[in-house]
């Protein structure tokens, strides 16, 4: 699998969130990326790790934590719920 490196702003966003100095704009960027991930989870059978890396997460675990904070469940459970549990 080959993917393009994530845009430079992802490192800045991740660092700002980790240090507690995130602004509303950074939270919006972060949330927007997770909304894109949610759409991709709903509309495809792409591996979660691929989606995570393509939107800028360095690990599937970090993506899972962020997704769970936003959607109150891990991406696998969210995908299953969106597809009617099948």
Residue 65 to residues 15, 19, 60, 84: CA-CA distances in angstroms? 16, 17, 9, 23
Average pLDDT over residues 42-47: 91
- pLDDT at residue 86, rounded to an integer: 56
pLDDT of 53 > 60? The answer is yes
pLDDT value at position 28?
44
Asked if residues 38 and 71 have their Cβ atoms less than 8 Å apart, the reply is yes
Cα separation of 62 and 60, whole Å? 6
C-alpha 32/C-alpha 50 separation (Å) is 17
Domain boundaries in the chain? 30-77
Rounded distance between C-alpha atoms, residue 72 and residue 45, angstroms = 21
Name the CATH architecture for the domain at 30-77: Orthogonal Bundle (1.10)
Within 13 Å, how many C-alpha atoms sit on residue 6's CB side? 18
pTM of the predicted structure, to 2 decimals: 0.64
Predicted pLDDT at 23: 53
The mean pLDDT value of the chain amounts to 77
């Amino acid at each position: 699998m080959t993917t393009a490196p994530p845009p430079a702003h992802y490192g800045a966003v991740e660092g700002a969130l980790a240090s507690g100095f995130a602004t509303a704009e950074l939270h919006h960027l972060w949330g927007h990326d997770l909304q894109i991930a949610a759409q991709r989870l709903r509309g495809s059978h792409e591996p979660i790790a691929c989606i995570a890396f393509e939107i800028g997460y360095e690990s599937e675990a970090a993506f899972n934590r962020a997704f769970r904070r936003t959607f109150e469940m891990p991406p696998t459970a969210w995908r299953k719920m969106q597809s009617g549990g099948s």
